[in-house]
């Protein structure tokens, strides 16, 4: 979603702001801007479109000053135009504000302020915050013993009136030695330097500038100067903060010779699987070991139902988890869209455990669903990739993926890491219950072999590229699989939709006869995920039904599958793995297929239109 950066110190702020905004591009955006405080007062420069457009404008009209804030916007209220881009001012250019989140009651506040003579310039909800803070600032007097108290008072008075979520940064024309930040439901991180301090919506812009960071919590307000950080809670008062070490995986290693981050991250998957499993498989006890669950084995043994909640790709991983845990551990599992669970009232007994699955740890719906389950007294755990994220902090415990930064908007390595963590959870729960030592040891051996098998799978890249060249012109695709590979069909279709803008749908293969077969024609390829397993013959029958109706067929099959080669138009071979691990192997060719089709169609692979990496608004 939107990104925030801020700087206060002894250096020119614009270079850091622009560098930081570039590092936040992966979050998705449609406009960008900065505000800088200097000898010429408060100056704002912003533009619709890419950050390079902002850079080009600043060549002609550079902004000088050692205090500044910047923003990349993903439009919610108002179109993606320059006037709607952040930063916003209060009408008199006394303050500038950047804001992540949504102000739900902005219209009523706007109407009230307009009635008091204030003029609005944009169609955004965020401008209301700038105008409201400016209005409140007019009615508070500076304090002789605290030069910034009245600024905090004005910000707090404004925030007390708004309903919604915010990550907020404010600079003041008449106070060029301070910036104020506040958070509720949208992340903010303060970087601690020497004679300078930094602000960002995640740690990535701070890499190389500081190794000490402070995660702001909900309802906290930070007063940041060049050599000081003061944090207070809106109601509880002053807060003692502790700086944490910069997470190693916050660093962005660059493209490393790849054309796109997505392709690089597809090829990083063998390593990310190793990282997810490192130190978590015990051959001595034939089980998985997790250090952060914060529940005893006895408590985990008492769990009689799991709810896995997520959105998008993470929801597909949750479906894989449902098959894995029910098959290997015999525990009933429900998979819920977080956007639905947050508003539902499902009857769940006290022994139900929630797992919130998220790459970013900031997904608004998943966070809201987790909070609702906590409110009802259920234990909540997270499977997450970002240390210090909102969900990681609010869950009772959890498991980090250790997949490293995922810059491409379309998730790849985080998905397979989520799947392998869920496989280890299935092993863990299975060994707590009925699974024998020998069975647990066989699963561990299969898991340990996965990285090398995925490395071998990626050798199909050239083959997949040729398939992509043949079908890149098609505007509709069907994806089909069964059992463990039904979620793979959903994920393959989603990848194609996300980055190539082709309509694609995933189905359980047997459901094709119940409607989707009407879509089959010579212009609609059907992708079958059908490695060997107990339902192989059933899926083969579905494949033949498509062929009988003239539909092109692409098959992802196990090495040596001559039956698939005889019937399909194109076959992509993968190594043999145990059925329960097939989703982790079978998805890689589908990721590559989506990638190559998107490139051939001239799409922006890493920053697809209308999408954001982390959906932090409802």
Classify residue 202: in a domain, yes or no: yes
> Mean pLDDT, to the nearest integer, of 27-54?
88
Determine, yes or no, domain membership for 617.
Answer: no
| Least confident interval from 55-59, 255-259, 471-475 | 255-259
Judge whether 2 counts as a catalytic residue: yes
Q: Is residue 199 part of a domain?
A: yes
Whole-number Å distance between alpha carbons of 65 and 419: 47
- According to the model, what pLDDT value does residue 521 have? 87
Percent of the chain at pLDDT above 70? 97
Domain holding 531: CATH number?
3.40.50.10490
Do the domain assignments include residue 615? Answer: no
Over the stretch 560-572, which tens digit does the pLDDT of each residue have?
888 888 889 999 9
3-state secondary structure of 259: coil
Q: What is the DSSP string of 12-71?
A: -HHHHHHHHHHHTGGG--SEEEEEEEETTEEEEEEEES-HHHHHHHHHHS----SEEEEE
Which secondary structure element, helix H or strand E, spans residue 336, and what is its range? Answer: strand 333-337
Confidence label for 360 from pLDDT (cuts 50, 70 and 90)? confident
Work out how many domains the chain is built from and give that number: 2
Among candidate residues 495, 30, 494, 596, the one with its CA nearest the CA of residue 260: 596
Same domain, 234 and 265: no
Residue 250 reports pLDDT greater than 70: no
Asked if residue 293 and residue 148 are part of one domain, the reply reads no
Cα 265 from Cα 410, distance rounded (Å):
10
DSSP state, residue 449? H
List the catalytic residue out of 46, 413, 497, 613.
Answer: 613
pLDDT at 519: 85
Active-site annotation holder among 2, 384, 419, 558: 2
Whether residue 356 is predicted with pLDDT greater than 70 in this model: the reply is: yes
* Per-residue pLDDT tens over the stretch 483-494: 999 999 999 999
pLDDT value, residue 18: 92
Q: Which of 77, 83, 79 is nearest to 122 (CA)?
A: 83
Task: Give per-residue pLDDT as tens, 270-306.
Answer: 999 999 999 999 999 999 999 889 888 899 988 999 9
CB-CB neighbours of 330 under 10 Å? 13
List Cα–Cα distances, 107 to 111, 124, 552, in angstroms.
6, 10, 52
Lowest-confidence range among 25-39, 334-348, 516-530, 533-547? 25-39
Within a domain: 612: no
Q: Would you say residue 170 has pLDDT above 80?
A: yes
Distance of CA 248 to the CA centre of its chain: 18
- Please check whether residues 211 and 276 belong to one and the same domain: no
Check pLDDT > 60 for residue 402.
yes
DSSP H/E element including 475? none
- Residue 614's pLDDT is 61
Helix axes 461-471, 582-600, angle to 10 degrees: 50
pLDDT at 590: 98
Q: What per-residue confidence (pLDDT) applies to 134? A: 93
Asked which of 194-198, 236-240, 352-356, 463-467 is least confident by mean pLDDT, the reply is: 236-240
241 and 279 part of one domain: no
pLDDT digits (tens, 9 = 90+) for 48-107: 988 888 999 999 888 999 999 999 887 777 788 989 999 999 988 899 999 988 898 999
Average pLDDT, whole number, for the chain? 91
Reported confidence tier of residue 518, pLDDT bands at 50, 70, 90: confident
Q: Give the distance, in angstroms, between the CA of residue 330 and the centroid of all CA atoms in the same chain.
A: 30
Same domain, 53 and 88: yes
One domain, residues 218 and 270? no
| Active-site residue, 607 included | no
Domain range for 234 is 3-245
Q: Is the pLDDT of residue 617 over 70?
A: no
- The whole-number pLDDT of residue 248 equals 55
Residue 414 sits in the same domain as residue 283: yes
Pair (146, 270) in one structural domain:
no
Arithmetic mean of pLDDT, 126-131 = 93
Model pLDDT for residues 431-452, shown as the tens digit of each residue = 999 999 999 999 999 999 999 9
What H or E segment, with its residue span, contains residue 409? none
Q: Are residues 303 and 241 in the same domain?
A: no
CA 241 centroid distance within chain: 26
Whole-angstrom distance, CA of residue 92 vs CA of residue 74: 25
Greater pLDDT, 174 or 256: 174
Residue at which a domain ends, from 245, 275, 297: 245
Q: Looking at the domain assignment, is residue 614 inside a domain? A: no
For residues 452 and 448, what is the distance between their CA atoms, to the nearest angstrom?
Answer: 9
Asked if the structure places residue 252 within a domain, the reply is: no
Same domain, 200 and 86: yes
* 240, 387: one domain: no
Structure confidence at residue 224 as a pLDDT band (50, 70, 90): very high
Task: Residue 356: name the closest of 364, 347, 348, 345 by CA.
Answer: 364
pLDDT of residue 74: 75
- Assign 142 a pLDDT band (cuts: 50, 70, 90): confident
Shared-domain flag, residues 158 and 32:
yes
Residue 618 lies in a domain: no
Structure-token match 């990282």, residue found = 275
CATH code of the domain in which 241 resides: 3.60.20.10
């Amino acid at each position: 979603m939107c990104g925030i950066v801020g700087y206060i110190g002894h250096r020119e702020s614009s270079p850091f702001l622009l560098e930081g905004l570039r590092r936040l591009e992966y979050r998705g955006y449609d406009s960008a801007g900065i505000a800088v405080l200097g000898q010429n007062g408060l100056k704002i420069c912003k533009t619709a479109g890419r950050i390079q457009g902002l850079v080009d404008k600043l060549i002609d009209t550079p902004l000088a000053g050692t205090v500044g804030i910047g923003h990349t916007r993903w439009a919610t209220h108002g179109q993606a135009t320059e006037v709607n881009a952040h930063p916003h001012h209060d009408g008199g250019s006394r303050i500038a504000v950047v804001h992540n989140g949504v102000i739900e009651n902005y219209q009523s506040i706007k109407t009230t302020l307009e009635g008091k003579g204030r003029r609005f310039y944009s169609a955004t909800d965020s401008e209301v915050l700038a105008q409201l803070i400016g209005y409140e600032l007019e009615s508070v007097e500076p304090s002789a013993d605290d030069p910034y108290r009245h600024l905090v008072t004005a910000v707090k008075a404004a925030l007390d009136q708004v309903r919604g979520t915010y990550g907020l940064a404010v600079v003041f024309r008449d106070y060029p030695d301070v910036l104020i930040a506040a958070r509720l439901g949208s992340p903010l991180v303060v970087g601690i330097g020497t004679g300078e301090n930094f602000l960002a919506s995640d740690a990535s812009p701070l890499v190389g500038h500081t190794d000490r960071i402070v995660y702001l919590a909900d309802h906290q307000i930070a007063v940041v100067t060049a050599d000081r950080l003061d944090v207070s809670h809106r109601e509880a008062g002053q807060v003692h903060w502790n700086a944490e070490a910069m997470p190693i995986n916050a660093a962005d290693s660059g493209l490393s010779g790849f054309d796109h981050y997505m392709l690089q991250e597809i090829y990083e998957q063998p390593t990310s699987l190793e990282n997810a499993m490192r130190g978590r498989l015990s051959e001595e006890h034939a089980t998985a070991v997790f250090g952060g669950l914060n529940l005893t084995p006895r408590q985990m043994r008492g769990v009689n139902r799991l709810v896995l909640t997520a959105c998008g790709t993470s929801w597909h991983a949750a479906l894989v988890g449902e098959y894995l845990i029910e098959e290997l551990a015999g525990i009933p599992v429900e998979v819920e869209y977080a956007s639905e669970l947050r508003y539902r009232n499902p009857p769940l007994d006290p022994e139900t455990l929630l797992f919130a699955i998220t790459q970013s740890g900031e997904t608004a719906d998943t966070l809201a669903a987790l909070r609702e389950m906590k409110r009802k007294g259920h234990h909540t755990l997270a499977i997450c990739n970002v240390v210090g994220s909102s969900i990681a902090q609010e869950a009772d415990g959890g498991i980090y993926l250790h997949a490293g930064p995922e810059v491409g908007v379309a998730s790849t390595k985080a998905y397979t890491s989520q799947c392998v963590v869920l496989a280890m959870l299935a092993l863990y729960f299975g060994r707590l219950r009925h699974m024998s030592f020998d069975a647990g040891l066989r699963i561990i051996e299969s898991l340990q072999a996965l990285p090398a098998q995925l490395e071998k799978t990626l050798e199909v890249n050239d083959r997949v590229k040729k398939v992509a060249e043949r079908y890149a012109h098609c505007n509709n695709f069907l994806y089909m699989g069964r059992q463990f590979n039904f979620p793979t069909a959903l994920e393959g279709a989603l990848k194609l939709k996300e980055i190539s803008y082709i309509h694609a749908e995933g189905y359980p293969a047997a459901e094709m006869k119940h409607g989707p077969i009407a879509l089959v024609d010579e212009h609609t390829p059907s992708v079958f995920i059908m490695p060997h397993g107990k339902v192989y013959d059933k899926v083969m029958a579905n494949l033949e039904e498509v062929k009988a109706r003239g539909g092109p067929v692409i098959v992802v099959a196990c090495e040596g599958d001559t039956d698939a080669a005889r019937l399909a138009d194109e076959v992509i071979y993968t190594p043999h793995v145990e059925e329960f691990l097939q989703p982790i192997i079978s998805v890689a060719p589908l990721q590559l297929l989506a990638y190559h089709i998107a490139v051939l169609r001239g799409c922006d692979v890493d920053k697809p239109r209308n999408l954001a990496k982390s959906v932090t608004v409802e």
